[in-house]
Structure 1
Amino acid sequence: MRHGSLDPRRPPPAPGRSRGTSNLPNPGSFDSLHRQCKDVFPVQMEGVKVTVNKELSSHFKASHTVVMSALGLPGYQFSSTYVGSSEWGAQRGGGGGGRGGCYPVLLGEMDSSGSLNAQCSHRLSEHIRTKAVFQTQQDRFVNWQLDTEYRGDDFTATLTLGHPNLPNTSGVAVAHFLQSVWGGLALGGELVLHRHAGTHGAILTAAGRYTGENWVATLNVGQGGAHASYYHRANRQVQVGVEFEASTRTRESSFAFAYQLTLPRTSTVFRACADSNWVVGAVLERRLRPLPLTLALGAFLSHRRSRFQCGFSLTAG
């Protein structure tokens, strides 16, 4: 065969893509590095919570929530979500980096005290996504945040501005970058710049994540401390998560373990956890088929503080 000729047994390169282009998947966002491990841990419950979800159309849905707790006054929250009709497909790659769906997405939540939490998320192109978040507390405007994310084929870059005040040159800026290096390895970093009332500073954090066939190991190390997590899927029913956190500011560290048991036949999910602060807890969630109801029961006990909390929630829709 002459030099430079094509082998007929080998398929030609894809149009518009050179032979040297990386086939690594998108690593996802920096904020989701520990998400798989955190999803195994149960969410603490206290009191009674009833939620009614109503889908009004293919683009609009509303939710009503009533909370009764011994820790505070009863409360009511109304939330609504609007999803636009501009559809985007998930990006190439199987690393959890695809962010498909319909845009824009508008979300608003208001409680009985008049506090509002609103956010708008929109996708400007195949690679660029923006998000704005606004928060008020009764009649006071407390926070707003702007977020811009760029997702390439094998990397994600994000810039976030938190409560910027241009006349006083104060605010917080956060930059994230995450790159797929090879196989299941992704490396990146976080830079936080803050300026307020004449003081300013910067915090740099390095991060790495390795994704195996059925496990994920993640590590963040920086000036503020360290955060490590390990997620393992034993089989289709059992998932395990281990988490370690250490802070250089408080000079404290903590260790936590959790597992999740899924029983598909009974539409039941059981989560339990225990940590180094002698806190144990568990949440049992079950879908009450054929009714559109989901019941959750939870209990948490702190042996060190001799404090016990329990609660249940009912979700319709």
Structure 2
Amino acid sequence: THNRLARSAVCGEPLLFNGSVSSCRRPTRNLNQFPFLSVFPEVFPMQMEGVRLIVNKGLSNHFQVNHTVMLSTLGDSSYRFGATYVGTKQMGPAESFPVMVGDMDNSGSLNAQVIHQISNRVRSKLAFQTQQQKFVNWQGDCEVRGEDFTAAVTLGNPDVLVGSGIIVAHYIQSITPSLALGGELVYHRRPGEEGTVMSLAGRYTGSNFIATLTLGGAGAHASYYHKANDTLQLGVEFEASTRMQETSVSFGYQLDVPKANLLFKGSIDSNWVVGATLEKKLLPLPLSLVLGSFLNHKKNKFQCGFGITIG
């Protein structure tokens, strides 16, 4: 249970008043991406390469550790140790705070997040990343949730001595129970350069689908999620970048076969990259097997992976 609570807090689920399907699209998000647009479940398969072994161990109702071993043919093999702590401050049936999540690899590089619910309406988060002995990134968030709105401010990599950093402010308002509209302003500064980027976004939530749209100076992003039935879910994403002068379309689906304890995910995009993962739970053992493969037809590149999760 504590692992599920930690994931819910780390991902964040803003605009609880405006959507029945609320989950993280990606484990992390960029500073200039609307959090409330990451709304549909992970229907796209996660790229795999080599062999991965994950061992999860719950030490108590509030503390869990995990060990991850990665064996790669393309890059360096690695080992990561992670820990998750969920506090005793109960804010709901599926939420407890504070939440602390972190992991460190064999080279000493660290990723960590701390999330705390200050009050019923105010939530804060601090995340940082190190590469061996050096700080690489750190980010602080403060989010305020009202009855029909969400407002947040994010500060990323501030350096007072150099005069650099990123500030992001966004506001989302529920217009109707199904429609939410918002705006976001990103300000970035570093020596010899500074600028702002503004984006407007909207999200429409139906009984079994969610549609989102973002328009701004950096480009456009649109997504559509549809739950066909209890076993089949579909997702489509469109992204256009003005800086890269590129557009892409991705289609993904998730097929759940509960009687066989199977979960299949597949995807294809406009760059002719096809991927799929198959996950099999070996009940009653706390063991899961994952097979994954991706093929880039343009680059004639193929990679596959195999994973085992215990616990």
Fold conserved between structures, TM > 0.5: yes
1:194 correspondence with 2:188: yes
Alpha-carbon deviations, 1:108-148, whole Å to 9, x = none? 11001110111111111000011111211011111211110
Structure 2 residues without counterparts, runs of 5 or longer: 1-15, 25-33
Give the equivalent residue in structure 2 for 1:31.
35
1:227 to 221, 230, 241: 221
Superposed structure 1 runs of 4+ greater than 6 Å apart: none
Give the equivalent residue in structure 2 for 1:278.
272
Structure 1 residues without counterparts, runs of 5 or longer: 1-23, 91-99
Q: How does 1:257-272 map to 2 (within 5 A)?
A: 257-272=251-266
3-state SS, counterpart of residue 168 of structure 1: coil
Q: Is the 8 A contact 2:57 2:65 kept in 1?
A: yes
Give the equivalent residue in structure 1 for 2:66.
63
C-alpha deviation, 1:35, in angstroms: 3.2
Identity %: 55
C-alpha deviation, 1:190, in angstroms: 1.4
Partners of 2:87 and 2:58 lie apart in 1 by 14
Give the equivalent residue in structure 2 for 1:7.
none
Give the equivalent residue in structure 2 for 1:87.
90
Q: Is the 8 A contact 1:26 1:152 kept in 2?
A: no
1:126 correspondence with 2:130: no
C-alpha deviation, 1:26, in angstroms: 4.8
Partners of 2:52 and 2:254 lie apart in 1 by 22
Give the equivalent residue in structure 2 for 1:295.
289
Q: 1:54 to 1:312 in 2, by over 3 A?
A: same
Q: Is the 8 A contact 2:18 2:177 kept in 1?
A: no
Report how many residues are paired: 284
Please, what is the CA RMSD of the aligned residues? 1.5
Partners of 2:122 and 2:90 lie apart in 1 by 14
| Largest Rg, 1 or 2 | 1
Partners of 1:119 and 1:276 lie apart in 2 by 34
TM-score normalized by structure 2?
A: 0.88
3-state SS, counterpart of residue 60 of structure 2: coil
Q: Is the 8 A contact 2:279 2:291 kept in 1?
A: yes
3-state SS, counterpart of residue 116 of structure 2: strand
Q: How does 1:129-208 map to 2 (within 5 A)?
A: 129-208=123-202
Partners of 1:59 and 1:89 lie apart in 2 by 16
